[in-house]
């Protein structure tokens, strides 16, 4: 029929609809429950609003809050709702940008007012009024110059600047009541969809993330389709706040960051350094056991090195300004790879020498804008858990199996058990390397993941221009995903540095080069580890495994003797000899999340024992001092 079109659903089923029907109406024909849950849709792969009309046959995919794209639509709509409320309460406020982010949304404002927590309550109340008004959210496309005139007349200079930088003839704006915003969309159909929300924090942010621009005020928020989901999320945020590595880092005296030493640069205190050294020692030991050799490279390199590697052309904005040494430009290194390749090229290699597995805990320096720095998780100087594998084509399957198993073993050793793997394939844009190399590398990566029996997703076109990769994401105790391990092929650097080996035919061939990180950066990994364990490190990682607490000063000599013997055995103990009450000292040790508290009183001195209380348990256990040390040593060896 001329008046009908065919709609194809993701499961390949089809249905007929009237030409010109809206996406919302078509979804209603599929099911009223789905229609109620729908926030937007994809039509022939393009995100659209539910009010969009369908004028031709189309593939339709419904977007709901259950998927990441739906949450993005919902949270972006929440940012518009908040901006409208702010404009009502603070008429001089000029909105800048307000995107959805990983866990909610934010909007940046230029305003004479200094937002306070009380203001957030007022803004929330106004948002509820707007939701009750049930305003339609309407998309309008217009000529870019007309849009500039619209926003200029409204005094929205930031929107005018954004529009002036756009290379497009037509743009889209969204209206809800008196509020209009520049936006690609899509958005929820009406403000009444945004039933449950909470404004969380106020922060400062530079316009366009540039410290040279004006400081704006940023309001963060979160929204959900119902109050139950919101309440659950707020409980999650409260637990995450308790586990925040920045708070615990200060409470446990692990690390600090100071303006006088530089933003994004970590100072490791004795206990934090002990934790880091424990991780590094385990890392090195396991690498040697897995057939790796260690290398060490300098912190700076001549500009010629970074020109050959391509970093000066493609990565310069993340590198720091050069320093002049004897008339030559030197750069602090953003990556370790070029140094490892120069080591490789220092001599000739035969097919018999491969594979080579070279690893380094190499400290690198990358420029990050001040607005994105975040404790240990986003820094400017960090130590990369780095390795490079140089292999023959026939060795690829075994090497990938080996490094994947090694990655999972290391992550499990630190208490992570839930993994998700992403296989990133060749991008459609410019990429280097022969098609056969990409095909073989992708096949080797995918086959290895399958053999490991791990759930994985194919990220079509998500690889770097220089090679495909496997990314391993871990889930922490709160269910948050973190990117740690990467297994990345590189077809670019071997060409740039003319890396070769002599094969069985007596001719030179290119080795396959694989970048590999197990933990990622040590700083970031330790931040994740702190939050995963909530500061309650397992015995083998605890900077202090036991605090020996004295009841009275006369018990100090015995306690010190136990401490000395424990340290001599490689255990980590401290004495608390302060003239405080025993209850106070025990409570403080518990607050520090020390795995064991050993109390020493007259009875223990006389019998050569300790009253040992394990973390999380209320009743102490009497143990001979030697038996307690044996227990600690055994738990450390078993990584408990």
Which residues does the annotation mark as catalytic?
337, 366, 384, 386, 388, 469, 515
**Alpha-carbon distance 256 to 250, whole Å?**
7
Q: Where are the beta strands (DSSP E) in 368-480?
A: 381-391, 418-424, 456-459, 469-475
Q: Where are the beta strands (DSSP E) in 392-500?
A: 418-424, 456-459, 469-475, 481-490
CB atoms within 10 A of CB 293: 12
Give phi and psi for 36, each to the nearest 5: -65, -35
Ramachandran sector of residue 291 (left: φ over 0; alpha: ψ -120 to 50; beta: rest): left
User: What tokens does 477 get?
Assistant: 């105790």
Distance of CA 20 to the CA centre of its chain: 43
Ramachandran sector of residue 37 (left: φ over 0; alpha: ψ -120 to 50; beta: rest): alpha
CA neighbor of 361 nearest in space, from 299, 305, 312, 422? 299
Q: What is the 3-state secondary structure of 34-103?
A: HHHHEEEEEECCEEECCCCECCCCEEEEEEECCCHHHHHHHHHHHHHHHHHHHHHHCCCCEECCCCEECC
Give phi and psi for 160, each to the nearest 5: -60, -40
Dihedral (CA of 243, 245, 249, 254) sign: positive
The residue assigned the tokens 């348990």 is: 617
80 Cβ partners below 8 Å, 6+ apart?
Answer: 98, 137, 174, 176, 179, 181, 183, 187
**Alpha-carbon distance 477 to 415, whole Å?**
10
What does the radius of gyration of the chain's CA atoms come to, in whole angstroms? 30
């Amino acid at each position: 029929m001329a008046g009908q079109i065919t709609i194809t659903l993701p499961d390949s089923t089809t249905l007929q609809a009237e030409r010109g029907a809206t996406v919302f109406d078509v979804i209603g024909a599929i099911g009223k429950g789905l229609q109620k849950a729908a926030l937007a849709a994809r039509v022939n792969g393009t995100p659209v609003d539910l009010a969009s009309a369908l004028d031709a046959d189309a593939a339709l995919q419904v977007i709901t809050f259950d998927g990441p794209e739906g949450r993005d639509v919902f949270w972006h709509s929440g940012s518009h709702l908040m901006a409208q409320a702010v404009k009502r309460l603070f008429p001089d406020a000029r909105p800048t940008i307000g995107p959805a982010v990983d866990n909610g949304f934010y909007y940046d404002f230029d305003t004479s007012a200094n937002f306070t927590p009380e203001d957030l309550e007022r803004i929330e109340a106004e948002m509820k009024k707007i939701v009750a008004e049930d305003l339609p959210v309407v998309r309008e496309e217009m000529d870019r110059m007309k849009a500039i005139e619209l926003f200029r007349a409204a005094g929205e200079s930031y929107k005018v600047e954004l529009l002036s930088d756009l290379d497009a003839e037509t743009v889209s704006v969204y209206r809800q009541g008196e509020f209009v915003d520049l936006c690609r969309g899509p958005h929820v159909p009406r403000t009444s969809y945004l039933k449950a929300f909470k404004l969380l924090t106020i922060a400062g942010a530079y316009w366009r993330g540039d410290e040279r621009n004006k400081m704006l005020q940023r309001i963060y928020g979160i929204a959900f389709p119902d109050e139950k989901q919101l309440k659950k999320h707020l409980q999650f945020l409260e637990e995450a706040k308790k586990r925040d590595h920045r708070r615990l880092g200060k409470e446990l005296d692990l690390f600090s960051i100071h303006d006088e030493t530089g933003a994004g640069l970590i100072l490791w205190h004795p206990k934090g350094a002990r934790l880091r050294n424990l991780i590094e020692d385990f890392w090195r030991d396991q690498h040697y056991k897995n057939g790796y050799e260690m290398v060490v490279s300098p912190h700076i390199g001549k500009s010629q090195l970074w020109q050959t590697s391509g970093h000066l052309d493609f990565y310069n904005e993340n590198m720091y300004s050069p320093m002049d040494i004897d008339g030559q430009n030197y750069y602090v290194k953003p990556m370790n790879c070029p140094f490892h390749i120069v080591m490789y090229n220092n001599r000739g290699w035969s097919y018999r020498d491969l594979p080579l597995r070279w690893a380094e805990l190499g400290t690198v320096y990358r420029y990050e804008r001040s607005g994105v720095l975040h404790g240990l998780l986003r820094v400017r100087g960090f130590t990369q858990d780095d390795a490079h594998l140089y292999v023959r084509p026939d060795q690829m399957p075994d090497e990938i199996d080996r490094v994947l198993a090694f990655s999972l073993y290391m992550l499990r050793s630190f208490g992570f058990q839930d993994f998700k793997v992403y296989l990133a394939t060749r991008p459609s844009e410019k990429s280097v390397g022969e098609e056969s190399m990409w095909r073989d590398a992708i096949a080797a990566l995918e086959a290895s993941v399958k053999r490991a029996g791990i759930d994985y997703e194919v990220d079509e076109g998500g690889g770097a221009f220089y090679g495909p990769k496997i990314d391993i994401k871990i889930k922490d105790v709160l269910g948050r995903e973190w990117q740690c391990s990467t297994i990345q092929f590189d077809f670019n650097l071997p060409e740039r540095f003319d890396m070769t080996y002599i094969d069985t035919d007596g001719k030179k061939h290119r080795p396959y080069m694989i970048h590999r990180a197990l933990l990622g950066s040590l700083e970031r990994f330790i931040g994740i580890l702190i939050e995963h364990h909530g500061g309650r490190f397992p015995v083998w990682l605890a900077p202090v495994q036991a605090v020996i607490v004295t009841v009275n000063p006369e018990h100090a000599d015995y306690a010190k003797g136990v401490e000395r013997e424990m340290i001599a055995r490689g255990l980590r103990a401290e004495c608390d000899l302060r003239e405080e009450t025993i209850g106070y000292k025990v409570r403080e040790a518990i607050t520090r999340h020390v795995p064991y508290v050993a109390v020493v009183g007259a009875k223990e001195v006389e019998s050569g024992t300790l009253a040992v209380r394990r973390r999380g348990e209320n009743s102490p256990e009497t143990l001979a001092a030697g038996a307690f040390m044996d227990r600690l040593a055994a738990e450390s060896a078993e990584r408990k």
